[in-house]
Every structure is written in structure tokens, then in C-alpha cells.
Structure 1
Amino acid sequence: DYLQKAINSYEHPILAANVLGENGRPYFGQPYVIIEKAGVKVAILGVVTQYIPHWEQPAHIEGLHFQSLVETAQQYVPKLRELADVVIVAYHGGFERDLKTGEPTELLTGENEAYELLQSVSGIDALITGHQHREIAGIVNGVPVIQPGSFGRFVGEIVLDVEKIDDGMKVTGASASIHPVADCQPDTAILASVADLNQALETWLDQPVGRVEGDMRIADSMQARLKEHPYVEFINKVQMEASGAPISGTALFNNEGKGFDETITMRNIITNYIYPNTLAVSRITGADLRQALEQTANYLALDEENQIIFNPRFIKPKPQYYNYDMYEGVDYTLDLRQPVGARVTRLEFSGKPVADTDSLEVVVNQYRAVGGGNYAMFTPEKIEREVQIDMTELIADYLRRHPVIQATVNENFQILPQSKKQ
């Protein structure tokens, strides 16, 4: 309902050809739009990643079916070729393979299908992508493609040369580029129109909501993943209090968050906890938890000097720091020197070893609780209850109840071998 209200307020079309209702037709109306400019008809097909059900709350997408990009394009592109001179695909999704070698760069889950699209569907003149936050501009299988990063740092540009040949217009050449906007001057009229709102926002962001006794700043993100950090323990404490679950898992989502200053503001909260997550409590087995820890160990690796690094497979082409979880409420050791499947060398709950058959309540964010990040041991049917309040609100509410927090750790987990920095 919220989404539909937002869409109704827009002054431009929403194109989502592969989000289907129970009648099998695009749920949000138009699958494509045709724009005519200077006598050239341009068709734009809009598509989203089909992977949405793997992170979204089931109630939010009830009655919706997310079709594959490739299947959708196979259905529409031939039709659009008949209706228009130029066919563009605008895809909220990215590339699952190396653009030059075709080698997979991630698990082929269907979350990103742009490479397969360009191999399987002919008749596309340009492809605009997103979702992975990568900076891409080039020609792939004869098609110009762009993906202009994130946070508005780049503007993507595709230039098509269109000529009249015989009875129709044809694309005879193409180029793709992205342009940094760091040195561009903002539009003064737009700045003026949002000045009052922006000032109100800045005031809200800078309001103090709590205070830290001790040091909760993050000086080294990698070390904060290898040795428990007060900020990580704090987030897990918030999740445990909000949900009532005795075990909690969370992640440092990126390397930009710097933890909490002595005076904690809303800006501190939002710049560290960057995703609009809610929480879910899952009932899992001891075997599930062990598998989850084995999965999280995949995100670490040993270099030539036997020092722990973040696994390069999960940094390029897209950083996946948000998929490395750290748990509170259990005591565990990950030994990266051991073979896959045997890296969890200690796993205890309430002072006792966790058995595979144990039944455990674990709180994680909604993305993880439905299996996001390829954590197959977490599934929607294992969710017992949810806390449908954004984590940033939960953090702020916790700080209002506990205006002074201690920067403490209980060092409940250990990653081996210990690095020189540790």
C-alpha cells in the first residue's frame, strides 16, 4: 500500500515488466514506454532484479511474482523491435560474469542477469544497469552498457548514432561513458528550493541521542571483524533486547562506518547502520548455526604470509562486507587453517557445546533471515516473529532508554590464526 501511494504521487511512469500480479500481467502497469524524439521512436523496457523475494518480507510482496530478466526480455524485445527504432533496457540489476572473459564473478542465483541477457537476447541497442554500485561503461557483445556507481557520484551517458536506412531508422554506432560530478556546481535554484528542508534535516541529524563511556570508534574495519569490537557488540545487544532472542548476528556493512563518537548523534547512527533493516527471530538448529558460521568463514582468507584478509572473491567486482556476520550469545572459534566444513572448532551456548539437534532462537536482520547473502540455512518458514521497526529507530530508542552506554566487549568469538595486529 505504501509503495502504491508513492507511485501514485510520481509524475513519471514506473516500468517494471517482470513484476507480475496473480493474473500474470505487470502489476504496476506499464512494462515499457515509447518516446518519440526528432522522428526517432525509442522504446524503454524497465526490469528489476528477480531476487527481491530473497530479502523482502513476504507480506510486502504477497501476490507478486518476479520473473527472470532474460525471460522477460525474450518476451518483449521482439515486440518492441517492431514498434520502435531504438530499444533500450533499463535494468535494476547487474552483471553476474566478468565482462571480458565470461567467467562467473558470483554465485549464479539470478540476482544479476545482465551478462546472460546480452548473450541470449538480440535486438537490444543499449543497456542501463544498477544495483551492484559498480562503475561500468563499455561495449559488451556489441551493446553499449553503463552502471554509474552509487551515491550520485557519476552520470552515465550512452550515445547512439541513428541513421535512416531504407524505410526505417537504424543504430549504426554507439559509445558508453560515465562522468564524475564531484567538480560540477549544483543548481542554485534547486538548492534554494530545498534549503529550509535541508537545514531541518541537518539539525535532526546532529541531535545528540546518547553518550559513550570508553571508545566505540572504529579505527580499522578489518580488525573489527577479526576481534570483537564494542560497536559490533552494541548492535547485537540492541537486537537481542528488541527481539528477546538469546543469540544475535550482525555485520559491519562497509568500511566507511567509523563507529560512535563520545556523543552519539542521529548522523552517527545512520552513517554506521546504513540499511533500512528490520529484525526477524528464526528458530534454527545447532547444525544450522554451525553452517552459518562456516558460511561467514568463507568471507575470510589467508594470504601468502598466513595473515587473515577479507576474501578477495567478495571484494571485487562488488564488496560484500555485509555478508560477514559476527554473533553474540554464543562462544565460537573459526580456524581458517582447517578445511572447509571443519573451520568451526568451538561452538558453545550457555557454557555447553552446541549439538546439531539443539533448537536455538537467533535474531538477524530480515535480509539474512530469508536467506539473503546465500545463507541457505535461513529460510522464511523458520521465522518465529519479527520486529518491524527500522534498526536505526531501534538503536535511537535503545539510547534514549540507556543514554550512557559502555564501550565493552566480552570477546565471545575468536578467529584463528591470530594476526600480527591482534
Structure 2
Amino acid sequence: MPAVPRRTGRRTGRRAYAVLATGAALATAAALTAALPAQAHTGKGGHGHHPRPGRYQDVQLLSFNDLHGNLEPPSGSSGRVTELQPDGATKTVDAGGAEYLATHLRQARKGHPYSITAAGGDMVGASPLLSGLFHDEPTIEALNKLKLDVTSVGNHEFDEGARELARLQNGGCHPTDGCYTDKKFKGANFPYLAANVLDEKTRKPILKPYWVWKKKDVKVGFIGVTLEGTPGIVSADGVKGLSFKDEVETINKYAKVLQRQGVRSIVALIHEGGYPASGSYNYDCDAAGPGSGISGPIVDIAKNVTPAVDALVTGHTHNAYVCDIPDPSGRSRMVTSAASFGRLYTDTTLTYDRRTGDIARTAVKSANRVVTRDVPKAADMTDLISRWNTLAAPIGNRPIGYVSGDVNNTGTESPMGDLIADAQLAHGKELDPRTSVALMNPGGVRAGLTYAAKGAEGDGVVTYAEGFTVQPFANTVNLADLTGAQLVQVLKEQVSGANEAAPKILQPSAGLTYTLDLTKSGADRVVTDSIRLNGAPLDPAATYRVAVNSFLAGGGDGFPTLAKGTGPLVGSDDLTALATYLTAHSSPSSPITPPTADRITVVR
């Protein structure tokens, strides 16, 4: 990559890399400095702008990920970010909402004639009712208005299968629900990229593998992939007939294709992510060295993706980070993620060298910016939300229950997860009185319930729309028989096998208790002799009727033993089970008290 002088000013929490300052490099740097004055960067979110000579051109890359159809401002902790203060303290900032995201992106683009907006997948799926009720057509319409240029697919783009994803791309009315308005759905104005998702019959990508942004003589290529493990976290029907290939091998393959076409500036959009050392969006990821403040799958991916790729926009883990992770040649490379739900966007400056057609990596700057709610709302987004809310209101505003306080979705065991498990246990007992336990996967719990919710519903009222936000997948509640030994194995699979590095703690229904010792490793973290069901130890040879959702029943999320259950029985969808439970067990005068989340004793 060509070298340019170090820029003055700071990125949030990191320094720009200087060019080599020895021998001939000094003379090179001096010559470049004369031809290329450093661009000033002022303030936390502002950019000073000076015209560049003909050889170099700043290209602004605005990116976000994991929107999940959150057009309205997310509520509770889902609608806040943590900000690190100069004195080391932290504060929370309300963030998100398409009306504000649109305003922030439009303001950010001002003064930047070369600007690209890209995304890292999961734009749709697991969406609130406003979007999910209409198969995410409202979100695609909003992204068109946001002027999104390109996105990778994420795992949630496959929630309703490849055909529905193709419809979101190409347009057309829903095959069973038809058209929701008097206008035919036009589809996305931007390309979805799915380089590593192949049709098993044709062995070709189901959508475009790459796309090239062009303006005058500047060209930037984008390659889009989702995580190879998508089949393990999506229902079997959603990925039927598809195969998912290795992220690194796929990106490296198409980087060569782009290079053969004369495209040397390349960005990878990867729906896979990492786990930052801090929950603050603006922490210094590189304080102890490049990439020292992040772990997880994206680290190995970043270290092995070809040096031909200049930057990685990532997602999936819903975390915020801007890190320099060296590529295989040892050169620094920016790896970014903007949390989730439209609460942040990443502002990256790529310096394009017209002589080489490549990005001058030493000049790359990046920072996450908060989508604050102290800016004017974008009028076109307000109109869009209002139109779809009018259609959704008759269904969404219907009360389904009452709570006495916030039912949070936080912690190893969450009150919301316990409440869902209780609802599924009750539904299971209606289907088969032998049902004795229910287990809920934490990833399927998309939000909590807030006591003082927005709108005119009144404190403590739970509407159908709120329930939909909590459980938007339309999984069914499935029953199966497992032996006591198998049930113990299921609990061990939370912290071993596919889940050893990143445990997935199932949310238990009332009556199931045990100790989770996080000071140990692997399956030993589940203290076997502590497991009790209604106060009694599990009998390894006995048969237990277990309720789980259809995703878990197929072995999803790394629980293969759940797929070995016998005597299957399929019930209603999970949202119906939750709504029925809330309606039966609460009223305005006797609301449900949030569970205390004390069924799992955690030792740290």
C-alpha cells in the first residue's frame, strides 16, 4: 500500500500510524508532504476539510450493522449506548431510531462528495412488529431512503428462507400475504452480497458476491459474506438447499477476482464479529497494542484475510469497536462494528491513491459516532413510520397482559427469559400434562418488557407489539421426551462443544435449578449433582417431557441432544404462548411480578 504522511488529530482512542522515518523514507515523506498537506480533523465528530491534490482522494465510508428492523427508537437498554468519559467514568446516552439515523448520516455526508454507505448484515429479521409484521418491507423502504449503497447478508436475512430474501432484493408482493398497500413492493435499491452462500444445486452464490462503487476515476470494491456457522443459528427451513463456505477463503477468492478487474481498493463486509474488552463504544481498542482490546471469531478472520482487502466492516455480535488488527503481512488494517439497532454508525476515511488505485492504509481513520436523539427528525422517515404504524396499529396496540415493573433481558439468566420459559411450560402442559420443564435459548429473547412504555397504553400494559418485539421469530413450541441423562447433557452443551468459547445459557422454567460454576472449564461448569427439578434430583433413566421452541428442537444453537428427543408434538407459535400466559396470569389490578432470575446459581 502507498504511504502518506501521518495525519494530525485523533481518532477516538487511537493514533494514526506514521510512515517510516528513516533513510530514503524521510526523503519520500518530505516529498509527499509537499504535495499532500495533512488534513485536519477537529472535534469528536467533526472533520476539517481541505481540498486534496489530484493524486489523493478522501473517500468517506459510513457503515452500520445489525439494524434488525428497528425503525422506531429502541426502548430500554436496547436504545442506549455507554460512553467513556475523559476521567474514566461512563455515562449512558439514548440512541437510535431511523428518523435520527437518517439525519446523522445526511449531516455526515455534507462536504464529502466521495461518500459510500455500507452495512454488515442483519438489516432485517428479529424485527419489531412495525417491520416484522410486514415481512420487513418497511425496513427495506427505509434503507432505500437512507441511501444505503451495499450490504452483506447476515444470518437473519435467512429467517424466512432464500426465496424471501430474493424478494426483498428484487421486489414483488409477498407470496401468501399479498401486497400491503396499493403499491407493489419495489425491493432494495442496494445490492445484498452473499459471496459465501451457495445454492447446493448450482454451486453458485445465491446473490451477488461482490459489488464495485465508482465515482469518476475512483473505484472501491465490496465483498459480502455471512458467518459460516449460519446453519447452526437459523431454522433448518431457512437455509434449506444452501451451503455456507469459509469466510476467509471466500473473501480471498473474490479479492483476486476484483484485482483481475483492476479494482485494488477493497472492503470486506463480514457478518461475524468480536467481543471488545469494554462495553463503551469509544474505548481504546489498541491501548496495549494493535487489536489488543478485542477477542472472538473476527480476530482470526482479520488476521487471515488477504492484505488486498483494506478494511473490514463487521457485525453479528452487536458490539461496538474500532480496532487495528494487522493483516497477514503485518500491516495495520481497520476492523469496525457499530453495535446494533441503529444506535451507532462508523465514520471511516479511506485515502484513495489515484496513481495505484489502492488505499493508503497509513491514512485510514475511523471512529464510531452516536445516533443521538437531539437532532431534528428526518421528515421522510417520520412519514414512513407513520404510514406503516397506521397499518399495524389495530394489531399492535391490543393489550395482552400487565407487568408490575420492567422485565429485563440482561444477565446470564434474565427475568424475560424465565418468563418466556414459564409461558412455554404452561403451553406445554396444555398440550400434554406430562410436560415438566421448558428451556428457552437466550438469542431468541430479543428484548425485555418496559413498565412505562411509550404511547397511550398506560404504565404496565403489555401490547401485542411489545410482545412481538420480544419474540419475533414465529417459532413453534415443540414437545419431546428426553431421559434425565439427556437433559443433563443438554445443560452441559450450554458450556461445551460448539458453545464452550461463548456459552449459551438456556433460560429455565420454574422448578429447574442448578449451579453454574464459571471458575471451571467446559462441561464441568455445570455442577451435575446440583441439578434439581421441583426439588428432586434428575433420574438419569427417567423420561421427562420437555418444551422448547422449534429452533432448539432441531438442534440449533449447538444443542444436538435436543434433536434426539422422541414423541414429538408441535404446539402454537411462541408469541401466542407468551400472550396467552400473560393474559391468563395478569390483569390491571394484579399484574405479573418480574421473575427474580434465581433459578441458576452462578459461581464466578
* Alpha-carbon spacing, 1:179–1:275, altered in 2? closer, same or farther (3 Å): farther
The superposition leaves residues 73-111 of structure 1 with CA deviations (integer Å, 9 ceiling, x where unpaired) of 1221122122213111111111379774669845xxxxx
Cα shift at 1:129: 0.8
Q: SS of the residue aligned with 2:241?
A: coil
Q: Which residue of 2 aligns with 1:5?
A: 167
Cα shift at 1:64: 0.8
Q: SS of the residue aligned with 2:562?
A: coil
Q: SS of the residue aligned with 1:186?
A: coil
Contact 1:231 1:259 in 2 (8 A): no
Q: SS of the residue aligned with 1:377?
A: helix
Pick the aligned partner of 1:393 from 576, 589, 604.
Answer: 576
* Alpha-carbon spacing, 1:152–1:33, altered in 2? closer, same or farther (3 Å): same
Q: Which residue of 2 aligns with 1:266?
A: 464
Cα shift at 1:367: 4.1
* Alpha-carbon spacing, 1:130–1:119, altered in 2? closer, same or farther (3 Å): same
Contact 2:418 2:510 in 1 (8 A): no
Q: Which residue of 2 aligns with 1:205?
A: 396
| 1:157 paired to 2:340 | no
Q: Which residue of 2 aligns with 1:290?
A: 488
| 1:257 paired to 2:448 | yes
Q: SS of the residue aligned with 2:529?
A: strand
Cα shift at 1:171: 1.2
Unaligned runs of 5+ in 2: 1-162, 172-186, 278-284, 327-331, 452-458
Q: Which residue of 2 aligns with 1:360?
A: 544
Contact 1:230 1:407 in 2 (8 A): no
Cα shift at 1:47: 0.5
Contact 2:234 2:556 in 1 (8 A): no
Q: SS of the residue aligned with 1:12?
A: coil
More strand by share: 1
Contact 1:330 1:350 in 2 (8 A): yes
* Alpha-carbon spacing, 1:403–1:3, altered in 2? closer, same or farther (3 Å): farther
Pick the aligned partner of 1:147 from 337, 341, 345.
Answer: 337
Q: Which residue of 2 aligns with 1:87?
A: 266
| 1:171 paired to 2:324 | no
* Alpha-carbon spacing, 1:289–1:103, altered in 2? closer, same or farther (3 Å): farther
Cα shift at 1:18: 0.5
Length-normalised TM-score, structure 2 = 0.54
Q: SS of the residue aligned with 1:133?
A: coil
Please tell me the residue identity of whatever aligns with 1:41: K
Length-normalised TM-score, structure 1 = 0.74
* Alpha-carbon spacing, 1:16–1:77, altered in 2? closer, same or farther (3 Å): same
The residue correspondences of 1:45-84 to structure 2 (distance < 5 A) are 45-83=223-261, 84=263
* Alpha-carbon spacing, 1:154–1:406, altered in 2? closer, same or farther (3 Å): closer
Aligned length: 388
Q: Which residue of 1 aligns with 2:316?
A: 131
* Alpha-carbon spacing, 1:344–1:264, altered in 2? closer, same or farther (3 Å): same
Q: Return the alpha-carbon distance in structure 1 between the equivalents of residues 542 and 532 of structure 2.
A: 11
Contact 1:248 1:364 in 2 (8 A): yes
* Alpha-carbon spacing, 1:264–1:193, altered in 2? closer, same or farther (3 Å): closer
Unaligned runs of 5+ in 1: 107-111, 299-312, 315-319
Q: Which residue of 1 aligns with 2:528?
A: 344
Cα shift at 1:382: 4.3
The superposition leaves residues 206-244 of structure 1 with CA deviations (integer Å, 9 ceiling, x where unpaired) of 3212457xx575479659759996675335323554687
Q: Which residue of 2 aligns with 1:310?
A: none
Contact 2:424 2:548 in 1 (8 A): no
Identity %: 20
The residue correspondences of 1:219-258 to structure 2 (distance < 5 A) are 225=414, 233-238=422-427, 240-241=429-430, 245-250=435-440, 257-258=448-449
Q: Return the alpha-carbon distance in structure 1 between the equivalents of residues 414 and 586 of structure 2.
A: 26
| 1:20 paired to 2:190 | no
Contact 1:232 1:252 in 2 (8 A): no
The superposition leaves residues 123-158 of structure 1 with CA deviations (integer Å, 9 ceiling, x where unpaired) of 101211111111122332122222111111112222
The residue correspondences of 1:303-342 to structure 2 (distance < 5 A) are 323-328=504-509, 331-334=512-515, 336=517, 340=524
